[in-house]
A and B are shown apart, each in its own frame.
Chain A
């Protein structure tokens, strides 16, 4: 069974998402964008165009470029709203034989569902291209106020596009799903959807397995476009004040004002003021003229106050129509790009008395919700498949008391990691595996989860045996640690249940401690590492002297012995610099041994023991 495509079929823009690996993912279209204009055209050459490409040629082909078809789908021709909307679009609309609507594109008259099907068809093709597999099923969202005829027509559009529509769901419901509110019972959610051209507000009640729309209200002609228009007018007026030229009737200047207004609007969502800069906007007798206007956020807010007030008045109506009081609302979700505007957020927060939630991208939240609904229907989203993460890192104590992490915190479980360690001393026949949990660098500062001993390791020089340590955390968070000697296959393991056993507060405290002690911990580890290096150098020197007694000149042997005792006297101390320099001096002296051995023609040049690349040594038992 293939994937079920989640489709947000919008009035101005559409978006698609699917479940992948149990997570929703918004798919980019063939043009590389995450949303697509809901525009369809038949070009002069008879080619069908959808999306961005259709919009680009709109002015050359206005009669055959259809946009905002969602306003007409499932309607009857004689409805007053249809008559009103009909006047504002450049394409031709007529009454069909059964009283419905038909729009003209190219030589053909098409039903709105056929036009919508063209949009859906392109979304389907883009998803198939992106995923590399055929898509035959979909979940499509519609506004909560859509009646049966509008829903049925949307379903038909899907069918025409070659999609089996598994379900039509309400846009606010999809938004609630995207936020995972379906898992919380008895939540009351308000969805505030300020889109490009329409405004909707819905009040939902989330019960066991159902999300019910309790009330919905809106304005089909209120959106981001109105705000853009206000900014354009203001900019044009400002320019006229300064230059005396009215650029409003110049289509080229309008186009550039349009872009500049949208850019300014977006910038003012994060900045408190911006500079609108349109060089060569027009020219007069004195030469080219440039528009340069400073715009502040407060100016924008002043210009758009009326729209915010209208949206809030509608929100109030929707609340009154619902069985809830404002205080009952647990969550407020923002949908639509325009809700990024701080003034709008502030107004919503003031009305509901709580911060609205917009942690999911407001342009994508509806498509994501549709994909999740698809996942639920396709059996891909199940409670048993909710994946957890481990809250704190897990590791073992290694030489010098260092905590060596095997699984980092925030790793998604179930998971399994292994690493090979070795012994710290010659002829060491057992290792102790001490499991530590936490972010601190030294094992003693972390929580100890348990320890066990792997013995029966055949005698060998230090660093030779290979002990493979495997950490496995299952879906329930149960940790199994296994140590295996690769030479003998002898193994030992421990199972630690409830490896967290820690409350939220403990975890938080441990993380904070790790942060606070990060510098000091780093120093400690550096010291331990320096000591380990010193240890290795001493070991190496003694071994080299022992192995090559006859080949090393007397003076060199004495010099090495001196350096060894010098290092041995400091390596137990806390002076990092001293340990490092003593180690370095010994290494330097030691390198002369190579030369001496080489000169004497000895083929058994000493191996430098304990090089950096050697596996880390486990703590000595």
Chain B
């Protein structure tokens, strides 16, 4: 860019009068337009950074929940087996184990949900089979889990 500046002076010296003026005006116009474009790009980059920072700060709490949710997701196959086992087996030991598990989850903010008799809600439930005509849950195949306002996994239900 420095080079073109030097050339530009030499050229102006060679052409005189109105022609030079016209050419200068054109160059000025171009320079102003370019300046505006660069300024806008710069402002946009600055704004992006500021917004990104705000967003990162806002999602900080969200992130902690997300890490917990990821962890619970990994545990879920085991939780599902436990839930199914309790259903099939009356053993008090199993029941105690399940209760302990759910207590621990609750302590980190994770709740289990989904119950027979509830109304089907597509935000919380995933329908596996429609048996009746209504929208009441008749069987919970697999419970759902949530943390805060977000659903880690919807409950899988038959309605």
Contacts and interface: CB of A to CB of B under 8 A. Distances in A.
A386 to B, nearest CB: 12
Interface stretch (A54-62, A135-143, A312-320, A426-434): A54-62
Interface stretch (B23-31, B99-107, B120-128): B120-128
Contact of A279 (B45, B49, B81, B158): B81
A132 B156 CA distance: 33
Interface stretch (A95-103, A110-118, A377-385, A500-508): A377-385
B122 A20 contact: no
A288 to B, nearest CB: 5
Interface in A44-80: 44, 49, 53-54, 56-60
B127 A58 contact: yes
Contacts of B48: 20-22
B159 to A, nearest CB: 6
A279 B159 CA distance: 23
B126 A56 contact: yes
A209 B50 CA distance: 32
A358 B156 CA distance: 35
B37 interface: yes
Given A21-B45, A32-B66, A382-B41, A53 B128 contact: no
A357 interface: no
Interface in A564-607: none
A57 B84 contact: no
Nearest to B42: A385
Contacts of B51: 20, 131-132
B71 to A, nearest CB: 15
A48 B103 CA distance: 37
A551 B66 CA distance: 64
A57 B122 contact: yes
Given A21-B49, A32-B150, A57 B156 contact: no
A251 B141 CA distance: 12
A46 to B, nearest CB: 13
A207 B54 CA distance: 40
Interface string A518-544: 000000000000000000000000000
Contacts of A43: 122
A49 B122 contact: yes
B18 to A, nearest CB: 33
B53 to A, nearest CB: 11
Interface in B28-78: 37, 40-41, 44-45, 48-49, 51-52, 54-55, 66, 77
A280 interface: yes
A59 B129 contact: yes
B123 to A, nearest CB: 6
B52 A56 contact: no
A411 interface: no
Contact of B128 (A22, A59, A277, A280): A59
A410 interface: no
B89 to A, nearest CB: 9
A22 B45 CA distance: 7
Contacts of A245: none
Contact of B127 (A22, A60, A132): A60
A554 to B, nearest CB: 62
A252 interface: yes
Nearest to A130: B55
A418 interface: no
Contacts of A57: 120, 122, 126-127
Nearest to B158: A252
Nearest to B77: A277
Contacts of A56: 122, 125-127, 154
A131 B55 CA distance: 8
A459 interface: no
B98 interface: no
B135 interface: yes
A464 B55 CA distance: 42
Nearest to A263: B77
Nearest to A279: B81
Contacts of A20: 48, 51-52
A49 B81 CA distance: 32
B88 interface: yes
A243 interface: no
Contacts of B154: 56
Nearest to B54: A132
Given A132-B51, A132-B55, A252 B127 contact: no
Contacts of B85: 279-280
Interface string A360-397: 00000000000000000001101001000000000000
A283 B141 CA distance: 14
Interface string A290-308: 0000000000000000000
A163 B15 CA distance: 51
A419 interface: no
Nearest to B62: A32
A251 B128 contact: yes
A255 B123 CA distance: 19
B130 A60 contact: yes
A382 B37 CA distance: 11
Contacts of B41: 379-380, 382, 385
B95 to A, nearest CB: 17
Among A43, A130, A279, A287, residue most surrounded by chain B Cβ atoms (within 10 Å): A279
Contacts of A255: 128, 141, 156
Nearest to B69: A32
B115 to A, nearest CB: 17
Interface of B: 37, 40-41, 44-45, 48-49, 51-52, 54-55, 66, 77, 81, 84-85, 87-88, 120, 122-123, 125-130, 135, 141, 150, 154, 156, 158-159
Interface of A: 20-22, 32, 43-44, 49, 53-54, 56-60, 130-132, 251-252, 255, 277, 279-280, 283, 287-288, 379-380, 382, 385
Given A21-B52, A59-B129, A379-B41, 20 more contacts: A20-B51, A32-B66, A53-B123, A56-B125, A57-B120, A57-B126, A59-B127, A60-B120, A60-B127, A60-B159, A130-B55, A131-B55, A251-B129, A255-B141, A280-B87, A280-B88, A283-B88, A287-B88, A379-B40, A380-B44
18 contacts: A20-B51, A20-B52, A21-B45, A21-B48, A21-B52, A22-B48, A49-B122, A53-B123, A58-B127, A60-B130, A60-B159, A132-B55, A251-B128, A252-B158, A255-B156, A280-B84, A280-B85, A287-B88
